[in-house]
Amino acid sequence: MSLQRVCILGSTGSIGENTLDVIARHPERFQVVALSAASRVDALAAQCRRWRPAYAVMPAAVQAEALRAALADLPGTEVLDGEDALARIAALPEVDTVMAAIVGAAGLAPCLAAARAGKRLLLANKEALVVGGALFMRAVAEGGATLLPIDSEHSAVFQCLPQDRAHWDAHIDHIVLTASGGPFRQRDPATLVEVTPEQAVAHPNWVMGRKISVDSATMMNKALEVIEARWLFGLQPERIRVLIHPQSIVHSMVVCRDGQVLAQMGTPDMRGPIAYGLAWPERVACGAPALDLSRAAALSFEPVDTARFPGLQLAWDTLAGPAGSTAVLNAANEVAVAAFLDRRIRFDQIHAVNADTLAACAPAAGETDSLDGLLALDARARAAAGERVVRLGG
């Protein structure tokens, strides 16, 4: 076991904090080399005092200046800012492992940098893969990176598969991603127009950042995860299915070619998949209590009510569409969720923004071949989604 030197992109978020919690349990295994955040200077400053990273990044110059002032007595930490600073810390020669825990497409550039630099890349930032798609996977292959899933469903599938990826296709008939159904699984659909941001972010099983919590309530999170699974496991979209499992104990399943079903279970605590990614192929204590099935509630499963959750189908629709359609969907959804959290549109209008933006914004040929092309497509889709938000009255 050699010391892993870790960079955490998005260290002040829910995944970032949980990553540091796991790392704190194993000081002999992990060393924090770089941390980053986009806001909350105080929180990042406190992390720097605790972890003494060589680098800390805040992309905005004003905030970076405030962080420098807060860390004036801590000469060992260099504070970087600017557009390329995240990609720079993700590719540092003194970094072995990058935890990608930024939310949204903003994480794509540093993920690509980590992939091209051949890092061990722990991917929580699903939007980066949804936007990056084939380009992202090419960067992983060409850079010789090791891509390890952190999303609990994908970690579950990964834990059920043979270590040698060359066997995956022969092993898998299809996979089943489980979904809790979020806070509105049983709510009268007619009342979804009244949902407030506070209600939407109150997830029954998981404590998460605001954006993914809203995505769980619309089930757009599961749509993004279907797209994520398509790339992580190299599966045709029809080999990816979704099942509601309200207790969030079975984190996902692999249905094998011989009809046998492998499932991974655990308490709903992200430190489980994070510790698995950090220690893989070994296992280390993660801090979450082990699952005790003698005390667990009954486990239940049900099909998805697609009328209640119309966004889910957009995963298969965009995967069947022109390359780049998933990037358009992601951009629209980021804009729609932000507008909902700002109370500019209603909860049920998130889907309208997503569907209308997909109809209005077609990817151009070749746009998905480069990071610049993808960022241009992302910007165009955001503009189209923003117009739709305004037309809805927001």
Token pair for residue 269? Answer: 């605590």
Q: Establish if 330 lies at the interface with ligand NAD (CB under 6 A).
A: no
Q: What angle do CA 55, 56, 59 make, to 5 degrees?
A: 130
Q: Which of 63, 125, 159, 325 binds ligand NAD (CB under 6 A)?
A: 125
Q: Establish if 89 lies at the interface with ligand NAD (CB under 6 A).
A: no
Write down the least CB distance from residue 251 to Mg ion, Å: 8
For every residue of 339-362, DSSP letters joined together read HHHTTSS-TTHHHHHHHHHHHH-P
Write down the least CB distance from residue 224 to Mg ion, Å: 9
Q: Are 327 and 363 in contact (CB under 8 A)?
A: yes
Q: For helices 108-116 and 371-391, what crossing angle results, to 10°?
A: 160
212 appears as a binding residue in the annotation: no
Q: Establish if 225 lies at the interface with ligand NAD (CB under 6 A).
A: no
Q: What share of the chain is helix, strand, coil (3-state, %, to 5)?
A: 45, 15, 40
Structure-derived torsion over alpha carbons of residues 250, 268, 248, 102, reported in degrees to the nearest 10: -100
- Binding to ligand NAD (CB under 6 A) within 252-271 occurs at 270
Q: Which of 151, 228, 334, 367 binds Mg ion (CB under 5 A)?
A: 151
Rounded distance between C-alpha atoms, residue 2 and residue 213, angstroms: 36
Q: Which of 25, 137, 197, 206 binds ligand NAD (CB under 6 A)?
A: 206
Q: Which of 7, 91, 101, 177 binds ligand NAD (CB under 6 A)?
A: 101
Q: Establish if 306 lies at the interface with ligand NAD (CB under 6 A).
A: no
Write down the least CB distance from residue 225 to Mg ion, Å: 5
Write down the least CB distance from residue 146 to Mg ion, Å: 20
Q: Establish if 38 lies at the interface with ligand NAD (CB under 6 A).
A: yes
Rounded distance between C-alpha atoms, residue 355 and residue 311, angstroms: 8
- Scanning 106-242, the segments in alpha helix (DSSP H) are 108-116, 126-143, 152-159, 168-171, 197-200, 210-218, 220-232
Q: Establish if 228 lies at the interface with Mg ion (CB under 5 A).
A: no
Stretch that binds Mg ion, among 52-60, 147-155, 189-197, 262-270 (CB under 5 A): 147-155
Q: Establish if 7 lies at the interface with ligand NAD (CB under 6 A).
A: no
Q: Which positions make up the binding site for NADPH?
A: 12-15, 38, 125, 127, 209
